[in-house]
Chains A and B, each alone.
Chain A
Amino acid sequence: MGAYAVRRVFMLLPVLFGMSLLVFSIIYLIPGNPAQIILGQRATAEAIAEVEKQLGLDQPWHIQYVDYIGSLLQGDLGTSIKTDVPISQEIFPYLAATVELTIVAMVIAIFIGVNAGIISAWFHNSWFDYTAMVFALIGVSMPIFWLGLMEQYIFSVQLDWLPSTGRYEASSVIDPITHLYLVDTLIQGNMEQFTDVAKHLVLPGIALATIPMAIIARMTRSSMLEVMRSDYIRTARAKGLTNFWVVYKHSLKNAVIPVLTVIGLQTGLLLGGAILTETIFGWPGIGRYIYDAIQYRDYPVIQSGILLIATIFVFINVIVDLLYALIDPRIDYK
């Protein structure tokens, strides 16, 4: 297992290398002179030359690439053109905001998705099954943009139950420690701010959870259906075990592997920053950070941001692979 983990991580090296090359090429693949785009309508020839120098565009590309990798290895992600702040320093709060939202969304998605899937399989072809699967279908195909605005309109504007944007009330002051505000407010023992932060998480959390929830529910259902037809389940029932026990203990354990794969992929996707959700809910996450950078053609941020997200995505999938072995003793990485 340990050896496999090490091998698996080493196998990542070529993947990461390929990614860095791809990300590095962005600046060449996107049409238009980056310096011109950054400076916009007020660009002068001197200013363009200056920005090109700053971006290193006056060097041959292989030298630029070696420089880029060299500084990456030293933990230097570059400096943002727009803000002039080192990216490694700037990116963390955005990442934390996305991580917090992703965790909440995945918790909602997994809890509801898995249970809905199980019950649908258990009461196969019942009204619950049909309803749940129709909702799952709607969930997969729902435009998040519309869902988010509707949530705001109903729960904030009309009912005034929940705040519609941001991570906390504009006038409150939260001292960041981890930048995960649920954690920070808890550490500081400020329950009032904690509930404020939690309330701000509800609407974007639900919006973000919708698609993974639907996918997880469908996956759980089909996987459970397959398992529940197998012989050992019949044996378990024959032994006189209660239905609940059969379903949640015996079946789920074998059905969970494909579900786990989906959960891993979805978590990775959400951590990449859900641009739409973050935009609608004014969530200062990594997706918007990179999106803004694209608008501004802040190439260092685009490159390093995408590379970071891609790396996280790859690592989550490694973790999921390793989890298989923990859950299913038949899977043995030797």
Chain B
Amino acid sequence: MTKRFWLLSLLLMLVLSVALVGCSDKEKEEETKEPATEDQTDDATEETTNDGSQEGTAEVKDTLVYARGGDSTALDPITTTEGETFRVTENLFETLLNYEETNTELVPGLAKGWGVYDEGLTYKFFLEEGVTFHDGTPFNAESVVYNFERWMNGDSDQFPYYTMFGGFKGDEGHVIESVEAIEEFTVQFTLTRPQAPFLKNLAMSPFGMASPAALEEYGDKFTENPVGTGPFKFSEWKRNERIVLEKNENYWKEGLPKLNKVIYTVIPENSARLNALMTGEVDLIDGVNPSDVERIKADDTLQLLERPSMNVGYMAFTVNRETPMADALVRQALSHAVPKDQIIEAFYGGLAEPAKTVMPPSIEGYNDDIEDYEYDLEKAKSLLAEAGYADGFEFDLWYMPVPRPYIPEGQKIAEVLQQSFAQIGVTANLQTADWGTYLEKASKGDFDAFLLGWTGDNGDPDNFIYTLLDKDSIGSNNYAYYSNDELHDILIEAQTITDQDKRNELYKEAQVIVHDDAPWIPLVHSTPVIAAKKEISGYIPHPTGSEPVTNTEFTK
């Protein structure tokens, strides 16, 4: 027995020492690395590569290692609604139209131009010529038709975001009557009724054009073998570990992309991810703890990039319940009793802006003229007295049990609200439930008041104000059960006209109505931050949460 034990122990020691010896061996071996990995050493080993490259010109890195909190669920973007997928597929697939770099206005994508006819019932798109998919097959109007036919013949389980077009083939609400290739590079959409956000929808990541030949070839496995027209080609996917993309040498935009390779890795824990950035194991991270922001600012090898907000965190009143909050005056009173700046300082590390309306400023039609209910407890008290609740009242305030991008710490924010309401004589009893139950109860209107939020899908105001507060949305996302016919008429009108300026005016009007009725207390628009190595340039975070790294490069 002892012999065996010692043998085993020795063996273990051997393994350990090999591991440790490895540390010192590495530097010498670095230079003999195979060519495929030679130029991708990260900063941790930079010193060692410098030895090799000192004789020649200093080599600039061309592999970006991007660390994030979770893996993609799929690489066929239409099959999911999940952001970690789009973050990658933005580089593989391209959409007919694109968003501007920092907001959600539209610019050409695979379609270099477009026209609207028949009062918004017909759209024509003139496609880029000479674009090929990664598998070598050409991109043309037929490919667009093929993709739309594929999607509209599916269901909401297969292609969840396709519901942005009102449903699927045969559904009453489905707005796309037909998609036709009228010339090799011209495709025509005929709608059953005008849909104002139609163009904005087309720019959403899930509607990237996939290679019809590859779809035929891979079938169900397409999600693991994605083929598009994007600046990068798919190379490897080890689930929960990493996704590797390689430069598309035949990319149709001259001189792009600038990187040779992009590697997406998964490091679930926020602090650990920052550690990995500081060691240089990775070049860029998202999901930074607000409390770490100062640490990043103090490090002169790092830079901080802010993503324009496209979300809203709010406290909603279920207005159809028999509580004092059914009275708009009471809701306004409570609106005056919310210290938004204090909340932002305490729980967002200053990385958020106070919300005064339903949607964030990055969305067209944002009404900046609205004056927020200022934090004024005296005013709140007098409004309460006016409504007949001078002695206050009691209600249940529900907070979500999980961190969300727009409300990172539901319980603590609810506690601040509770204390503040207490000062005007209103007692809020804090309640919570697990996330599934929470959503279910909120959607059924079981809460007096609750915290929740929303992240925009397509950057259209409709996607905030109609989706969240129109009477049509009661039963889906209008958890406040707010119903206002005047608002409804405006929103429906805005849905059917295609002149964006006119629409924006209507949405501004709509926001005033919502502001006065106060079915919500809009709390914040949070600003997610990204930390990167200082030498990275050309990475511009987009409000939608995902962006291609086409223009990203290392500057030294």
**Do A160 and B156 touch (CB < 8 A)?**
no
- Nearest-neighbour CB distance to chain A for B433, whole angstroms, equals 7
**Do A37 and B436 touch (CB < 8 A)?**
yes
**Do A149 and B271 touch (CB < 8 A)?**
yes
- Nearest-neighbour CB distance to chain A for B319, whole angstroms, equals 19
The residue on A at minimum CB distance from B70 is: A292
- Nearest-neighbour CB distance to chain B for A276, whole angstroms, equals 9
- What count of chain B residues pass the 8 Å CB interface test? 72
**Do A110 and B12 touch (CB < 8 A)?**
yes
A89-125: which have CB < 8 Å to B? 90, 93-94, 104, 107-108, 110-111, 115
Selected from A83, A104, A156, A171, the residue in CB contact (under 8 A) with B279 is A156
Q: Judge if A18 is at the interface, Cβ distance under 8 Å.
A: no
Rounded to whole angstroms, the CA-CA distance of A182 and B11 in the bound complex is 14
Selected from B15, B26, B81, B440, the residue in CB contact (under 8 A) with A107 is B15
A297-B263 contact given A93-B239, A152-B275, A195-B19, CB 8 Å threshold? no
- List the B side residues contacting A173 at CB < 8 Å: 36-37, 236
A23-82: which have CB < 8 Å to B? 30-34, 36-37, 40-44, 46-47, 50-51, 54, 82
Q: Judge if B298 is at the interface, Cβ distance under 8 Å.
A: no
- List the B side residues contacting A47 at CB < 8 Å: 156-157, 160
The residue on B at minimum CB distance from A249 is: B2
Rounded to whole angstroms, the CA-CA distance of A100 and B22 in the bound complex is 18
A170-B263 contact given A32-B440, A192-B26, A195-B25, CB 8 Å threshold? yes
**Do A199 and B19 touch (CB < 8 A)?**
yes
- List the B side residues contacting A46 at CB < 8 Å: 155-156
B63-83: which have CB < 8 Å to A? 63, 65, 67, 70-71, 73-74, 81
Q: Judge if B278 is at the interface, Cβ distance under 8 Å.
A: yes
**Do B23 and A199 touch (CB < 8 A)?**
yes
A36-B439 contact given A160-B279, A194-B22, A292-B240, CB 8 Å threshold? yes
A171-B9 contact given A156-B275, A288-B268, CB 8 Å threshold? no
Selected from B15, B70, B476, the residue in CB contact (under 8 A) with A44 is B476
- Nearest-neighbour CB distance to chain A for B159, whole angstroms, equals 11
Q: Judge if A313 is at the interface, Cβ distance under 8 Å.
A: no
**Do A170 and B242 touch (CB < 8 A)?**
yes
- Nearest-neighbour CB distance to chain B for A29, whole angstroms, equals 12
Q: Which one, B39-47, B99-107, B355-363, B409-417, is touching chain A?
A: B39-47
Selected from B37, B240, B269, B276, the residue in CB contact (under 8 A) with A171 is B37
- Nearest-neighbour CB distance to chain A for B280, whole angstroms, equals 8
Q: Judge if B241 is at the interface, Cβ distance under 8 Å.
A: yes
- List the A side residues contacting B73 at CB < 8 Å: 82-83
**Do A32 and B434 touch (CB < 8 A)?**
yes
Q: Which of B5, B275, B278 has the most chain A CB atoms closer than 10 A to its own CB?
A: B275
Cross-chain pairs A/B with CB under 8 angstroms, 22 sampled? A30-B434, A30-B436, A42-B81, A44-B163, A84-B74, A93-B239, A108-B12, A110-B9, A156-B279, A169-B42, A170-B265, A171-B63, A171-B263, A195-B26, A198-B15, A199-B22, A256-B1, A282-B67, A282-B265, A284-B238, A288-B240, A292-B71
A interface vs B, CB < 8 Å?
Answer: 30-34, 36-37, 40-44, 46-47, 50-51, 54, 82-84, 90, 93-94, 104, 107-108, 110-111, 115, 148-149, 152-153, 156-157, 160-167, 169-173, 182, 191-192, 194-196, 198-199, 201-202, 248-249, 252-253, 256, 279-282, 284, 288-289, 292, 297, 327
